[in-house]
Amino acid sequence: MQQKHVDERKQEDKKKPINEQLQENTRAVTQKAQQEVAAARIPWYRTIKRAQLLLTLYALLLALFTALAWWVHYHPVLPIDVAITREFQENQAPWLKYTMIAVSYIGEVPLLSIGIVLLTAAILWLVRLRLEAVMLVASCATSSLLNGLIKLIVARPRPTARLVEVIQAASGQSFPSGHVMQYVAFWGFLFSLAIILFKGNRWWRIALLIVPALFIILVGPSRIYLGDHWASDVLGGYLIGGVWLGLTLWVYLKLKAKGGF
């Protein structure tokens, strides 16, 4: 009798339109993802403690960035920058060159970078992390605007082929690195969420820690290796990117404490 009911259900499923079956499958996957995320959530009082440690670290970066920006404004070409770039570029192995190009590629194509941000925000929204989705988009958009503003103020020229090899030429001003700021805003926010929101050894939490960390670590050296930026540009990008990420997390926590979305 039970087998008969199973067979009848299978026949009914076959009769359903393809669109209806797809909708049901999508709902099932979304519900499973929501349950998985909810099960991994850390109690709110513990998330505050974890986030405060990050905020303290980010706050210490602002003074260092201000001093660096002032220095490179009046000293556009630093001997140590030239030496670091030449040291990076000594290894001309094809695998290293293409790895550096691949790491920077997301930031080179605006439509790709915007698409990844929006897709990630959509996934966060579907798993009921709606405030997180909004804050991710806001973090990336405001970081890009801030980068453009600082570049206009500091007005530092990019590396030239007279001093180092320019493997991948870029336009605009040099300080701070836009790629580094973009990656810290996007990947850094995801990394922070993995730390302050979730617990356990679920594969997606581990991925949220490893993948963002790799991109954030590698993007700086890639910009130097390709001759797009000086090392001090990259350092400045990490410093101000960290400060902006800290401010984003502070706003996020305030909104979260008030109930969020």
* Structure confidence by residue, pLDDT tens digits, 97-143: 999 999 999 888 889 999 999 999 999 998 888 999 999 999 999 99
User: Does residue 130 sit in the same domain as residue 76?
Assistant: yes
49 and 143, same domain (yes or no)? yes
pTM of the model: 0.77
Q: Please give the Cα distance from 100 to 81 (Å, whole number).
A: 18
Q: What is the pLDDT of residues 151-205, one digit of tens each?
A: 999 999 999 888 998 888 788 899 999 999 999 999 999 998 888 877 777 777 8
Pair (115, 192) in one structural domain: yes
If asked whether residues 20 and 31 sit together in one domain, one would say yes
Token pair belonging to 13: 């499923």
Same domain for 198 and 77?
Answer: yes
User: Do residue 12 and residue 91 come from a single domain?
Assistant: no
Confidence of residue 260 (pLDDT cuts 50, 70, 90): low
Residues 29 and 152 in one domain: no
Paired with 198 in beta bridges are 41
**23 confidence band (pLDDT: 50, 70, 90):** low
**184 and 241, same domain (yes or no):** yes
Identify whether residues 122 and 238 lie together within a single domain. yes
Boundaries of domain holding 20 = 1-40
Asked if 116 and 25 sit in the same domain, the reply is no
Mean predicted confidence (pLDDT) in 82-92:
91
